[in-house]
Structure 1
Amino acid sequence: MTVAMTVVPPLRMQQDGPSLSDQMTALPVATLLVRPDNSIAEANVSAETLLNMARSAIIGSDVARTIRIAEAGARFDIWHSNKPIAAYDIKVHAGRTAEMEVDLMISPIIDHEGWRVVSLHAQSQARKIGHRGTSGGARSAMGAAAILAHEIKNPLSGIRGAAQLLESGQDGRDSSLTQLICNEVDRIAALIDRMQDFTTDRTLECRPGNIYPLIDRAAGIASAGFAKNVKIIKHYDPSLPFANINEDALVQVMINLLKNSAEALEQVENPSIRVETAFRHGVSVVMGGGKGSAVLPIEIVVVDNGPGVPEHILDHLFNPFITGKRDGQGLGLALVDKLVRDMSGFVQYSRDAQAGESTFRILLPMGMG
């Protein structure tokens, strides 16, 4: 099951114009109106089709019995919460249909306590923001990484040794640059060590940490190199609490996203990248394996004014070896997805055509303790 933290806006009952029932009828996805006691008050035509039940049989039934979570051992309390909930690729028994994977979204209705709108998307939209499972392509990436690791680490050792020799003979001049070389070589070597785990589900060692020095470190590396001709703007939420992170992994994630944006801006006038942070309140997500719900309130977004991701690769954007760049290897975003998942987080892509902006959004758990 794939999970994502999507902000599902609360809905309002219409005071004038078409009623909520009329609006539901026009929706192309299966939609239910649920009362505070969890009984279903209304169902649209798409719901009848998906559930394989007549509207008369759906109305009045208990939503928890009509939409049953199929995962063995699952303990989801999604039907007794007044918070917006979004779960992608969740396995359910819906009505009289066989087990299926759907995107399930629950939206509270403003000014009507306990009332909710439930929508079921049979054709998963999660795939448009990246597959979450281990694919054959990922296993191929693992094999390639294993072959390359030894060959890459040897020249890295030579580079580090040369930087140390330079530093010892400089009498302190430009020592910060040679130290930067040493630090980055060490980080890359550590990254290569982790590449052998590219397709595993082992969790990174994470702890509560301040994300801002890590974002600044990545932005500094970008400004000194691949994004030296791009304006990088930072909009930080000063009240943001610590996130539960692996520091090296987050630096690598930010470098990859900044590099991806910088490469997309090569033919753009007045190129700019905006890095923003925010705290997102009150949205729960459903985890797989019977883990219940979780909260990912720490948001980091990387926004650029480039042309966006080509339409033909959107469905596979985070898969290895998928790229829209002529000389790209297609591993950068796959590694971003892997590292963010290893930190129990989520990454997604969106495009605002009207504003002419592309956004990569990272959602992370809050650090406790």
Structure 2
Amino acid sequence: MNGALPLVPPLRMQQDGPTLAEQMTALPVATLVIRPDNSIAEANVRAETLLNMARSAIVGSDVARTIRIAEAGARFDIWHSQKPIAAYDIKVHAGRTAEMEVDLMIAPIVDHDGWRVVSLHAQSQARKIGHRGTSGGARSAMGAAAILAHEIKNPLSGIRGAAQLLEGGQGGRDAALTQLICNEVDRIAALIDRMQDFTTDRTLECHPGNIYPLIDRAADIAAAGFARHVRIIKRYDPSLPFANINDDALVQVMINLLKNAAEALEHVAKPRIRVETAFRHGVSVMVGGGKGSAVLPIEIVVVDNGPGVPEHILDHLFNPFITGKRDGQGLGLALVDKLVRDMNGFVQYARDAEAGESTFRILLPMGMG
């Protein structure tokens, strides 16, 4: 196949339906088709608008010159890779526009070596994706957690000790009240412990491991407790290789996601949660900081048929203390994001309004050795 050949064969999906070229023109996302020599073969209307260039100027130009990675020190060789690549929240100079943040997807065209489709999402998906770095808000939360741990946890231990002494010399109602004090102190201490998870950047010890016993353990905990009213469906890929994981971290991540899904289904008539796994061949994710792309082929998704995340918190979904629940603490998803990042993975949220489903997707590296 060479650059002189037409972009799309003049086929129709049905006799009176639109051609594939017409369908591309109607796509609501800026889309380019790239030849093996990296020249742009086709661009839709959205691409013209995003790049601020006429189609006649786009077609034939070198894609590496038309879409330039703006991050200093970047070593992204995205235009010579034959693998699918997803780059979220990267800064680029696109066409005649000023520097912007985009989500960039590259997908090879099956059976046509070297040909690729590139889509550019100008509106950042930061609201759907756990940030790869620590934002200013997260740093503030880490500082607040450290202060609270120091200023509150030590006095709590004294209160609990005093309550236990009182309980030993009391009976009946007074003993019940002192036990209540102990229980509440334990609850607050547990909350502080959870907040302390954000105060450390220590590296998790990861190893190649089977994710299924860990997912099953989390699902069993959910089914016996907070999700006992929900139907949990498991759809596993039996051929999935080991992932590079920390066992405790993955169990905690799954418990938090299942709990989040179960709470979202509180007022749903037929609540259900699906836990699915898959191997995504060649999927790479840009990690920023000039580090290039990470191959994250192990996919775990948690899908629920609840109403989805409220619109007003989407931009800060994975930040600490952000929640749409009246009694929520806003720590569950923030901890999920941190633990997945500590395992060198990636987490994102998506809503399928047509299917009425919300999906949290985890991508993890494959275990080696």
TM-score by length of 2: 0.78
Q: Which of 11, 17, 22 is the equivalent residue of 1:15? A: 11
Measured in 2, the distance between the counterparts of 1:62 and 1:213 equals 48
Q: CA deviation at 1:234?
A: 2.6
Change in CA separation of 1:276 and 1:258 when aligned onto 2, cut-off 3 Å: same
Q: 1:305 to 1:58 in 2, by over 3 A?
A: closer
Residues 298 and 364 in structure 2, CA contact (< 8 A), matched pair in contact too: yes
Q: Contact 2:8 / 2:21 at 8 angstroms: preserved in 1? A: no
Amino acid across the alignment from 1:277: T
Q: Give 1:211's aligned residue.
A: 211
- Structure 2 residues not aligned, in runs of 5+: 1-6, 165-189
In structure 2, do the counterparts of structure 1 residues 81 and 33 end up closer, same or farther at CA, with 3 Å as the change threshold? same
| Cα distance change, pair 308–120 in 1 and its aligned pair in 2 (3 A) | closer
Q: 1:193 to 1:333 in 2, by over 3 A?
A: closer
Counterpart-to-counterpart distance in 2, 1:353 and 1:55: 32
> In the alignment, what sits opposite 1:287?
287
Matched residues, number: 331
In the superposition, relative to structure 1, how do residues 87 and 13 fare at CA in structure 2: closer, same or farther (>3 Å)? farther
**1:195 corresponds to 2:198:** yes
Aligned to 2:225: 225
2:358 is matched with: 358
1:124-157 deviations in Å (ceiling 9; x for gaps): 23433444443343233223322343545866xx
Deviation of the 1:336 alpha carbon: 0.8
In structure 2, distance between residues paired with 1:56 and 1:87: 27
Contact 2:308 2:357 in 1 (8 A): yes
Give 3-state SS (helix, strand or coil) of 1:83's partner: coil
3-state SS of 1:289 partner: coil
SS of the residue corresponding to residue 23 of structure 1 reads helix
- From the superposition, tell whether residues 98 and 303 of structure 1 become closer, same or farther in structure 2 (CA, over 3 Å): closer
The answer to whether residue 274 in structure 2 is matched with residue 259 in structure 1 is: no
For structure 1, list consecutive stretches of 5 or more residues without a partner in the other structure.
1-10, 163-186
**Are the structure 2 counterparts of residues 354 and 56 from structure 1 closer, same or farther at C-alpha, using a change threshold of 3 Å?**
closer
Map 1:114-125; keep pairs closer than 5 Å: 114-125=114-125
Higher relative contact order (CA 8 A, sep 6+): 1
Counterpart-to-counterpart distance in 2, 1:23 and 1:230:
40
Partner of 1:339: 339
Shift of 1:119: 2.1
Q: Which has the larger radius of gyration?
A: 2
Structure 1 match to 2:147: 147
Aligned mates of 2:273, 2:28 — CA distance in 1 = 36
Is this contact kept in 2: 1:129–1:315, CA < 8 A? no
Matches within 5 A, 1:87-166: 87-150=87-150, 151=152
Shift of 1:275: 1.9
Contact 1:275 1:301 in 2 (8 A): yes
Question: Structure 1 65/220 Cα, relative in aligned 2: closer, same or farther at 3 Å?
Answer: same
SS state at 1:312 partner: helix
Is the Cα contact below 8 Å between 2:235 and 2:275 reproduced in 1?
Answer: yes
1:44-59 alignment to 2 at 5 Å?
44-59=44-59
Offset of residue 14 of structure 1 = 5.6
Equivalent-residue separation in structure 1 for 2:78 and 2:328 (angstroms): 42
How far apart are the structure 2 equivalents of 1:67 and 1:263? 42
Letter in 2 for 1:15: L
Q: Which residue of 2 aligns with 1:34?
A: 34
Structure-2 separation of matches of 1:97 and 1:268: 45
**One-letter code aligned to 1:41:** A
